[in-house]
Copies of this chain bind each other. A is one copy, B any other.
């Protein structure tokens, strides 16, 4: 998606905000299961994108020195760092969705509808945060294993809160400082406090939009489990991949490529029953909001080398 460019100058611009879609890094149909293969591929590709000085002859300097499950020793070759100073990375921010983490706990308890005075909602809030922070830790570890200086930053802890699904407060100074210190902040969709209804679910897409408006990155990439945005659920026959979407100043979006045969036919979006963050319609609307800021948005299948050209 492309919007009209605004002239913004930064001494140290943020290169990219990447959204790792929950469906791309977890197994959608299995509760709390990470798609390890996808996550590893994505992490490796992000390293190549973030570290322009890195060549394939160089060793990957892993930064996860924790024990992996079932092992007694820490991973990573700490000695390698002494002889290798080049761990500088471009200024990126990573935000990931929840996928098969968190959604179950949130929808069972109704965290997205608020009401912390109800014991079920309060417990669901705790359970949801446990689940999404478990995923966050695993994403941070996967990126760190690829030598990306990733730092987990939970929106709740960073003081993010909502009011009617919009951001009411967010301490971006902490994110700024982490970037300035050379780290890659890794945020995620989270259960947060809500000024009106007590609590709510803050989706990764809303976080991305807020970060994009503040950080003004060169571009925003959404890594998903499909090749991009289709005119109807991509599991349906004859679903057409939309290659280019234009966003007007009013935030309204229209399909530029391909020319849809039947222009009266609306783009159909669905919301899965367990999805507490609004499904594809919310996602497109959020992406359009970013394009409106003059920031190019790419929607790409995770692990692919050929991005869908959407602008």
Chain B residues with CB under 8 Å of A87's CB are 119, 122-123
Nearest CB of chain B from residue A31's CB, rounded to whole Å = 6
Q: How far, in whole Å, are A291 and B233 apart by their CA atoms in the complex?
A: 63
CB distance from A83 to the nearest CB of B (A): 10
Q: How many angstroms from the CA of A199 to the CA of B193 in the assembled complex?
A: 30
**A184 CB to closest chain B CB, in angstroms?**
9
Closest to A198 in B: B181
Question: How many angstroms between the C-alpha atoms of A123 and B66 in the bound complex?
Answer: 12
Please tell me if A166 contacts chain B, counting CB pairs below 8 Å.
no
**Does A109 touch B at the CB level, under 8 Å?**
yes
**Is A127 an interface position by the 8 A CB rule?**
yes
Tell me which residues across on chain B come within 8 A of A129, comparing CB atoms: 140, 151-152
The one of B64, B153, B156 in contact with A130, judged by C-beta atoms closer than 8 angstroms, is B64
Chain multiplicity (copies): 2
Give the secondary structure class of A's interface.
mixed
Question: Would you call A97 an interface residue if the criterion is a C-beta within 8 Å of the partner chain's C-beta atoms?
Answer: no
User: Across the interface, do A81 and B181 meet the contact criterion of CB distance under 8 Å?
Assistant: no
A269 at the interface (CB under 8 A from B): no
Of the stretches A171-179, A212-220, A237-245, A252-260, the one at the interface is A171-179
Least CB distance, A180 to chain B, in whole angstroms: 9
Q: Across chains A and B, which 6 residue pairs bring their CB atoms closest together, nearest first?
A: A157-B157, A65-B127, A81-B120, A63-B126, A87-B119, A63-B123
* Subset of 27 A-B contacts with CB under 8 Å: A31-B74, A32-B66, A32-B67, A63-B126, A63-B127, A66-B127, A66-B130, A74-B104, A74-B105, A76-B127, A85-B119, A86-B119, A87-B122, A116-B181, A122-B149, A126-B149, A130-B137, A153-B154, A156-B178, A158-B158, A158-B174, A159-B174, A171-B171, A171-B174, A178-B193, A181-B193, A181-B198
